Every structure is written in structure tokens, then in C-alpha cells.
Amino acid sequence: MNTHIDFLIYNRVSKQPVLAIETDGYTFHKSGTSQSERDIKKDHILELYGIPLVRLSTIGSNEKKIIGDKLSEVLNLH
């Protein structure tokens, strides 16, 4: 099974991943689809390696704020 992360933000110096971002369309990612099974596996792998994940729906609402808030959280910029 081939799969990938939509976006991965990483530290340019250490090359370590900082945040994974996935965009999820409802029809393609709804429960019971093969894509939803891949999503579960991706979630598990990212959790296993301690890489935070943000899943964004494709409704076009607050993506910039959601990503910014999560980056601030994982980089301790509060």
C-alpha cells in the first residue's frame, strides 16, 4: 500500500519533522473507505514517531489559523 502525507513541515537545521498536515475531503475520507483505513495507519505511524498531525477538511474554513495555532503549540511559541 502506497500512501503519503500531504504536507510535512520540518526544521531546516535538524531536518526533523515538526508538523504533518493532511487535507481530507469528506467523500474520499469517510469512514469505511480504503482511504479512511490508510488515514488510520498514517495517524498511528505519526503518533508512534511523535509527529503532531493536523487534519483539515476541504470546506475552506480557518485553515491558516488552525495551522498557525498548532505550530505555535508544537514550537512552544505561546
Distance CA 43, CA 49 (A): 10
Beta-strand ranges (E) seen in the chain are: 7-10, 17-24, 53-57
Please give the pLDDT value at position 60.
Answer: 73
Average pLDDT rounded to a whole number, residues 2-28:
88
- Cβ(70)–Cβ(54) below 8 Å: yes
Phi and psi at 20, nearest 5°, equal -100, 140
For a pLDDT cut of 70, what percent of the chain falls above it? 88
Average pLDDT rounded to a whole number, residues 34-55:
91
pLDDT of 29 higher than 60: no
